[in-house]
Structures are given as C-alpha cells and as structure tokens.
Amino acid sequence: MIEVLLPGARATIQDAGRVRGLRDGVPTAGPADRVAHATANALVGNDPGAAAIEIVGLPFVCRATRPLLVAAAGRDVRLVVRDTVPGWTCAFVRAGDEVRVEGRSRYAYLAIAGGIDVPAALGSRSSYPQASLGPAALAAGARVRTLTVPAEVARAGATAAAPDYAAVPRVVVGPHEDRVDARAFLAASFVVDERSDRMGVRLRGEPLPTRGGELVTAGMAEGAVQVPGGGEPIVLLADHQTTGGYPVVATVIAADLPLVAQREPGEEIRFAPISLRDAVAELQRVRYRVFAVRDARSD
C-alpha cells in the first residue's frame, strides 16, 4: 500500500483503458502517454497494461507502507526516494520511505510492482471521473492498495530508453483527405493551445480549409487529427469522444502519440507522413522494447 501525501494538480489511476463501453459512448480512458505508462509498468515487472498512477502537475509525493519496487516515466521526470533516481529507472523503496515524483512532464507515470488493486468497472481500472467510472482521482491522504508480488529486488536499477519527445510525430494520412488537404496540414506548423487536455491536444495555426461541411457522425480513433470548421486541428487522446462529426485529415501513429500528448502549451509542433506499413513496424518496435524491459533477466 502507499499513502498519497501530495497528489499534484491531478492524479488518477489508469490501466490500458476500457473497450467494453465503446458502443455505449464510453471513452476508453487509459494513459495519455501510453509508452511511458507501459514502460514504467515493465520496469517494475508488471504487465504493460497494469494499473498505475498518472500525474498531471508534479510534484507528487506518497509514502510506502511496505517495501516496494517503483518506477517513474514521462517526458521530464525523476524520483526522489533517499537519493534522486532518474526517470525510466526501477527503484527499491523501503517501508516508510517517502517517494517524490518531480519534473516538468505534462503527464508523468508512477508504476508500482504488482499494479494498483482497485475494482474494475466495465472491465477496466482506468479512472474516468466524468462518468464516475473507475476509481476517483487521488486526494491527499488517499490509500492505494497494490497487489502483493514477490519483490524482484534485483530489478532495482534497471533502466529503459525514453522516446525522443522532441521528435516530429508521424501520421498516416486520412481517412478524410478528400475534405481537408493533407499536404497543407503536413506543410503547416502549429502551436499547442492551453485548452488541451486528456480529450485532445488543440493546435493553433493558419486555419486549414475544409470542404463539404461536417461529416455524418462516425466513430473516432485515438490519434485522429480532427479539423473542425474553424480549421484548427485537434489531436484526439485517451478521453476522446467515441464518435465525432469533424473530418480527420490524418491519424498520429500509436508510437508517436506520446510526443503530441506531452507537448506543453505554447510549444511548436508539426507532423510528418509515414506509410501504413512503416507505422505498423514502429508499433512493433515500441511494443517489443516494452516487453524486452519487462522480460529482462532480473537475477
């Protein structure tokens, strides 16, 4: 168990997300940065989709009530236990130790060996407070139970590589490039708007012209770059609506969506095209890396 001392601006529990409510309009939720979340889990020996803590607005401070393995991941994140431990590194925490997650990451993840033990709602432990699904956001004083697993102490010190968060995110063009000019989108440069949240990253820039008005409402996928009538795109993240009526000029590939999610308001962003085949290869690379971290020999 851990006890939350300082939750940051907002700390929620997220596993890989919820698909059982999709046809009832329930967003998947899950982590905004799926690569950092999966890697933090892998570092402590968890399944990559285990429930971990997503933190917005560091620092986050908690106390361990028993010995634990923990790892933090994000764009710019570190742990302070007795010493400072860099992000993307597994650390051993003694009973009674205070664990502080610090840094400037927009979304930071704290994974705990065993994973967080909360009841599942519609098959998932992800928090979606808008519909009271899953666990409530963590407040100071909250006690979070973790599943007990044999402590693989030898994992402490194991590290994983972080993505290059400054890289240019890649997109598969479409499906509605007949309504929005994909070349204009790929040539453009945008600034991340501060109204961005877990539903989507809003971009400001030269408006992209759209043709044919709104779509007949259709299902929407994570990473979709929607272009509303005003011409300023929105990149959909974990809490996005299951359906939408704006044309989608391109879709950010899963491997690169964390680069978009972690951009700070005011930062510049542009996009590069990638083929469907290469997008799948990138997904494979990311997933293999996560499994390699989890399956690393810990003796």
Partner 1 sequence: MPFGERAVLVTFAERVDAGANARARALADAWERRVGPAVPAYASTLLHYDPLALPAASALRLARRLASRARARTVVRPTIEIPVRYGGPDLADVARLSNASVDEIVALHAGREYRVYFLGFMPGFAYLGDLDPRIVAPRLPSPRTRVAVGSVAVAGAQTAVYPFASPGGWRLIGTTDVALFDPARERPALLAEGDRVRFVPA
CB atoms within 10 A of CB 8: 18
Nearer of residues 103 and 273 to partner 1, judged by Cβ: 273
Contacts of residue 51, Cβ cutoff 8 Å, sequence gap at least 6: 13, 14, 15, 115, 116, 117, 118, 125, 126
182 is an interface residue for partner 1 by CB under 8 A: no
Rounded-to-integer distance, Cα 89 and Cα 73, Å: 8
Contact 177, 208 (CB under 8 A): no
254 is an interface residue for partner 1 by CB under 8 A: yes
Work out which of 81, 120, 122, 142 binds partner 1, going by CB under 8 A.
Answer: 122
Rounded-to-integer distance, Cα 12 and Cα 128, Å: 9
Work out which of 112, 118, 220, 235 binds partner 1, going by CB under 8 A.
Answer: 220
163 is an interface residue for partner 1 by CB under 8 A: no
What is the token pair recorded at 243? 């359906």
**Dihedral, CA of residue 161, residue 156, residue 5 and residue 132, to nearest 10:** 60
Work out which of 140, 166, 276, 292 binds partner 1, going by CB under 8 A.
Answer: 276
Nearer of residues 108 and 253 to partner 1, judged by Cβ: 253
Work out which of 251, 259, 263, 271 binds partner 1, going by CB under 8 A.
Answer: 251
Contacts of residue 295, Cβ cutoff 8 Å, sequence gap at least 6: none
Count of residues near partner 1 by CB under 8 A: 41
Work out which of 9, 83, 216, 299 binds partner 1, going by CB under 8 A.
Answer: 216
Q: Which residues bind partner 1 (CB under 8 A)?
A: 19, 21-27, 121-122, 130-133, 172, 174-175, 216-221, 223-224, 241-244, 248, 251-254, 276-277, 279-280, 283-284, 287
